[in-house]
Amino acid sequence: MSSFLRPVIEGQDQRTSASHYRPVSSHLAIAPPVSVVIPAMNEAENLPYVFKTLPAWIHEVILVDGNSTDDTVRVARDLWPGIKVVKQRGRGKGDALISGFAACTGEIIVMVDADGSADGHEIVSYVSALVSGADFAKGSRFANGGGTDDMTPVRKLGNRVLCAVVNAKFGARYTDLCYGYNAFWRHCLDKIDLDCTGFEVETLMNIRVVKAGLRVQEIPSHEYVRIHGMSNLSAVRDGLRVLRVILKEQGKRRTGRRRPPVFAPGAGRGEVS
């Protein structure tokens, strides 16, 4: 069994018997602190639903605000006292996530959308996979046990085709590609060295983890419909961006043996408050 996890023994006080282990379910306690990064642009109305499902054992929540013109930041601070808010300097979801990751102090990082489509109760499945040996826990709506209420047939088709292209070109065995619910050990950031701005970010991560030879485990996940507001994604425009990333990554050498650049926690490009 990995040194990061151990069974919860009934009647034993997890806090005193091994001070850094925290129970995350009825039968599992973990040591590593978990950071949750939430990119949000005008999601004030959805945040109550998002925060309601986040487990109390999370070490920190980082909200990356994309210059929202609604009450996103105030609502987030009310709902999760102590939340770190990163003010995004650039534009796009990829840019937001890169800033958020840089502000994390946890060893495990979980990405959660702010539109109410992700269920925070699933975080324990992602974390369990990571403490059991995976480097990257990749959410999948099409793995057995997953699902989506949110994707149109056109998006499903586009995702499927792009996923097949990634599998063929990079030797992956993914069942889903463009999905925003994922988790990973912070050390992965050194190896994937993210450099993108938009909705292609998840694809870039999925490709680079394979190229870097990291251990990827898919986690069945259910995507609910966005509760309020409009999607920021355009199927054609963002589908083309994803395709461009795939082609660009194919032209680059594998990164597996390359010594990764050092990642400095807290050295974000955004402004933290």
Ligand X SMILES: Nc1nc2c(ncn2[C@@H]2O[C@H](COP(=O)(O)OP(=O)(O)OP(=O)(O)O)[C@@H](O)[C@H]2O)c(=O)[nH]1
142: nearest Cα among 177, 113, 109, 175? 175
* 28-30 vs 84-87, strand pairing mode: unpaired
Give the Cβ contact number of residue 259 at 10 Å.
8
Element (H, E) at 139: strand 136-140
From the list Mg ion, ligand X, none, partner contacted by residue 66 (C-beta under 5 to 8 A by kind): ligand X
Stretch that binds Mg ion, among 36-44, 70-78, 110-118, 196-204 (CB under 5 A): 110-118
Sheet holding 216-220, edge to edge: 216-220, 136-140, 182-185, 108-111, 34-40, 60-65, 84-87, 271-272
Q: Which of 95, 107, 115, 202 binds Mg ion (CB under 5 A)?
A: 115
**Residue 264 and residue 102: Cα distance in Å, rounded?**
7
Interacting residue with Mg ion among 99, 117, 206, 221 (CB under 5 A): 117
User: Do the Cβ atoms of 93 and 86 come closer than 8 Å?
Assistant: no
Name the residue number minimizing CB distance to Mg ion.
Answer: 115
Q: Which residue is nearest to ligand X (CB)?
A: 66
Task: Kindly state the tokens that stand for 96.
Answer: 């937001």
Question: Please, which residue, 31 or 243, has the CB nearer to ligand X?
Answer: 243
Instruction: Please identify, using beta-carbon distances, which residue of 41 and 212 lies nearer to ligand X.
Output: 41
Interface ranges with ligand X (CB under 6 A): 39-41, 43, 64-66, 88, 91-93, 96, 113-115, 117, 150, 180, 199, 226, 231-233
Task: Give 28 or 62: the residue with its C-beta nearer to ligand X.
Answer: 62
Cβ–Cβ < 8 Å for 110, 35: yes
> Where does this chain touch Mg ion (CB under 5 A) — which range of 46-54, 59-67, 218-226, 238-246?
218-226
* CB of residue 168 to Mg ion, shortest distance in Å: 27
Smallest separation (angstroms) from ligand X to the CB of 254: 28
Residues that bind Mg ion (CB under 5 A): 115, 117, 226
